[in-house]
Structure 1
Amino acid sequence: MTIKSIIHDMMWRRSHRVVGDAADHDMAGGSSPTCCWANLPQELLREILAKIEAADSAWPSRRSVVACAGVCRSWRQITKEIVKVPELSGYLTFPISVKQPGPRDYLLQCFIKRNRSTQTYHLYLSLTNALADDGKFLLAARKCRRATCTDYIISLHSDDMSKGSSTYLGKLRSNFLGTKFIVYDGQPPHAGAKMTRSRSTRLANLKQVSPRIPFGNYSVAHISYELNVLGSRGPRRMQCVMDSIPASAIESGGVAPTQTEFLFSNADSFPSIPFFRSKSNRSEKFLSGPLACQKDGVLVLRNKAPRWHEQLQCWCLNFHGRVTVASVKNFQLVASPENGPAGLEHEKIILQFGKVGKDLFTMDYRYPISAFQAFAICLSSFDTKIACE
């Protein structure tokens, strides 16, 4: 019997076990059929889980690693210790991975599918080098028009995109003209984060699971598009101020805040995977890295200036084959000179976004931003900009 079949058998038994039957079984002096596996010696269990993690390095086979974390508390703890953050491994394994910075050495390839009829957007992790494949679902967003602004609600679940949901991650809000945006995180991005009070925040607090965990809107980025007053043709000019990332994060040895667990309810669980929550509610345990209020300031990103191609008679950027359709929405973000003296770090592309089909777009990102932050920035490009074009 292979370890994978053992895991699947244990998961099936846990999901189909009836409470009454289990109680009667315990009273009769019997033991749970999963105890022999749940109580494996720690050294042996760690070695087994490490081999599974090393063997299943890509989706969909990587779901075995997630299944291991859903067996019991001890399995989950060891699995979390073995699985490295995306910055080090380049893998998106658990739901919290979308809140953690991407790899340092290369761009993590993703793509976005747009549904015009439902005004929804779905983010997928690319499984191959192709511009589009089946992908691994990561995030979903729904556009909500209001009288004076537009909100994009971002969720872990494609069928439940509401602020009251346990899968709610944050939102993107635009002004009336679509020239300025604010990215809000649903939980503190770092230990010193300040919450933005609003009516929706007060309503959400009524459903709060723990009073020690401040639920609300935490500003993590400000995005602005330059006004095109003269109506001249050309690419959009944008700037992103990353409120929760210090400017030193792009330097060699720099560190960006990294969330290690969700703070709310069952937001860290996959459907049908019974994860266990930590008993501690202290937010300091779930956050690592520097605060955004450091003296060296926050990270500022700007779009890389395209060049005019005389033969094609259009503005061009080198997306290395990841973008195939010309669009005003296409952009590449690099560190702004405002972060300090220009160096090699300022030339690295941190986020690139471009069109490859009618409703299909590629999104590639790297350290120090996360998939959640990158997705929110790309959503701002979809919004109509009356004064920028």
Structure 2
Amino acid sequence: MSFKSILQDMKGEFGSISRKGFDVKFGYGMRSRSHRVVQDTSFRIDALKQSCWANMPPELLRDVLMRIEASDDTWPPRKNVVACAGVCKNWREIMKEIVKSLEVSGKLTFPISLKQPGPRDSLLQCYIKRRRSNQTYYLFLGLNQASTDDGKFLLAARKCRRPTCTDYIISLNSEDVSKGNSAFVGKLRSNFLGTKFTIYDAQPTNTGAKVTKCHSSRLVNMKQVSPRVPAGNYPVAHIAYELNVLGSRGPRRMQCVMDAIPARAVEPGGVAPTQTEFVDSNLDSIPSLPFIRSKSGHAESVQSGLQSSQNEGILVLRNKAPRWHEQLQCWCLNFNGRVTVASVKNFQLVASPENGVAAGPEHENVILQFGKVGKDVFTMDYQYPISAFQAFAICLSSFDTKIACE
């Protein structure tokens, strides 16, 4: 029996159960409508227990789900894996055990995969589409130059200008990119000059994560506040662009301090924090809401992150220095064919030599590369130990206008 027929069978079986429950709830077929009728919940529970899918032997069910997971390697067929996890709690728990983390499998399956470190041995190829009309950016998985398909949607970001800074709201929802939506996963904030940025995660990266004072935690002017949206902002990385007012120092120079990733993560056998599920959070569980933001809080957090990175053993990424090409009369980097248009936004990030990684160019392992391939299309390739969310936020910093860097 094919998987499609299995899903159709399940849909019909569960559909008939729900229709029967609906009839009982609203009293269809009863003699009088003057009496209030309460749904008989025991009927629905008994019907579900009698379902052939609920009574399937665990060994057989696991074998079927393992075959589905192994056969559907890429999207869109991989949506069958997600569909199986949504059938019931039993199926979901089995699928969570079968589907390996992104580091091991190299497959983006569930939304939590976007918060997990990328594969170790290869770059995961993604691309970003920019929509200038509404200052929105969309992250997709893969890029086939010969295809017109957008690919698998991953994340969306919307640019919000403020008097003293710029915010990029990052969401799992491509239609409603706002902090009040339950799909809100984090944001990127810049200073006035666009030279320093802080990446905030809506979810705590570890049990000891501390919420920072940030006015985006206010619960005002929001269309919708979901109880699953944490009230705080957890800084996970700081980005700094070197000042270059006169343009005499060549291309941009940037440095990223990954607060949530230890420096030893890039070494053989090194481990980076890996989230396995989204933390359920509600407003009542937050000990204190930071309604007031210090004017110098952002600048201080960026400066302290850059200064304390060496003492705490935090991973530091720097952009790979391009080489001047005499014939082309321009600065060049080897993107292995993934970048086709020259742009000041193009960069490659490698582990800083202070982390104990060999400083020779032939030994530098590119962790994140970003470059232009069209008017509003950019490639984004990343790997362990950073996640898709972190890589996307770093790339968004390259889009921002930098008064003192050009």
Band of TM-score, shorter chain: 0.7 to 0.9
**1:367 and 2:384 correspond:** yes
Cross-structure match for 1:79: 95
The CA deviation string for residues 40-98 of structure 1, in whole angstroms up to 9 with x for no partner, is 11111111100000000110000000000000000000001000111000000001110
The alignment's C-alpha RMSD in Å is 2.9
For residues 136 and 86 of structure 1, the distance between their equivalents in structure 2, rounded to whole angstroms, comes to 16
Distance in 1, matches of 2:232 and 2:309, equals: 19
In structure 2, do the counterparts of structure 1 residues 29 and 94 end up closer, same or farther at CA, with 3 Å as the change threshold? closer
| 2:177 equivalent to 1:161 | yes
Displacement of 1:229 in angstroms is 2.9
Q: How far apart in 2 are the matches of 1:39 and 1:93?
A: 27
Distance, in Å, in 1 between the alignment partners of 2:82 and 2:71 is: 13
TM-score by length of 1: 0.86
Task: Return the TM-score normalized by structure 2.
Answer: 0.82
Measure, in 2, the Cα distance between the counterparts of 1:91 and 1:171: 24
Match for residue 126 of structure 2? 110
1:44 and 2:46 correspond: no
Q: In structure 1, how many angstroms separate the alpha carbons of the residues matched to 2:45 and 2:312?
A: 63
1:29–1:321 Cα change, 3 Å: closer
Give me the whole-angstrom Cα distance separating, in 1, the residues matched to 2:386 and 2:89. 30
- Selected match of 1:318 from 326, 330, 334: 334
Where does residue 2 of structure 1 map in the other structure?
2
Spell out the pairing of 1:141-152 with structure 2 (5 A cutoff).
141-152=157-168
Unmatched tracts of structure 2, length 5 or more: 25-38, 286-307
Please show how residues 43-192 of structure 1 align to structure 2 within 5 Å. 43-126=59-142, 128=144, 133-192=149-208
Contact 2:309–2:316 under 8 Å retained in 1: no
Over the matched positions of the two proteins, sequence identity in percent amounts to 70
**CA deviation map 1:301-335 (0-9, x unaligned):** 00000000000000000000000000000000000
Displacement of 1:237 in angstroms is 0.4
Contact 2:257 2:309 in 1 (8 A): no
Larger Rg: 2
Instruction: Say yes or no: does 1:347 pair with 2:364.
Output: yes
Whether the 8 Å contact between 1:131 and 1:356 is mirrored in structure 2 is no
Distance in 2 of aligned mates of 1:99 and 1:28: 37
Whether contact under 8 Å (1:154, 1:161) holds in the other structure is yes
1:223 aligns with one of 239, 250, 261: 239
Mapped to 2, the partners of 1:182 and 1:25 lie a distance apart of 50
Residue of structure 2 equivalent to 1:20: 22
**Residue 145 of structure 1, CA deviation:** 0.3
Tell me the equivalent position of 2:227.
209
Q: Secondary structure at the match of 1:229?
A: coil
Mark the CA change 1:175 to 1:12 in structure 2 (over 3 Å): closer, same or farther.
farther
CA distance in 2, matches of 1:331, 1:147: 28
Give the letter for the 2:232 counterpart: G
Residue 111 to residue 31, structure 1, CA distance change in 2 (3 Å) = same
Aligned to 2:216: 200
Structure 1 residue runs of 5 or longer lacking an equivalent are 267-280, 282-291
Aligned equivalents of 1:11, 1:261: Cα separation in 2: 27
- Measure the CA separation in 1 of the matches of 2:368 and 2:98: 28
Paired with 1:59 and 1:339, the residues of 2 have a C-alpha distance of: 36
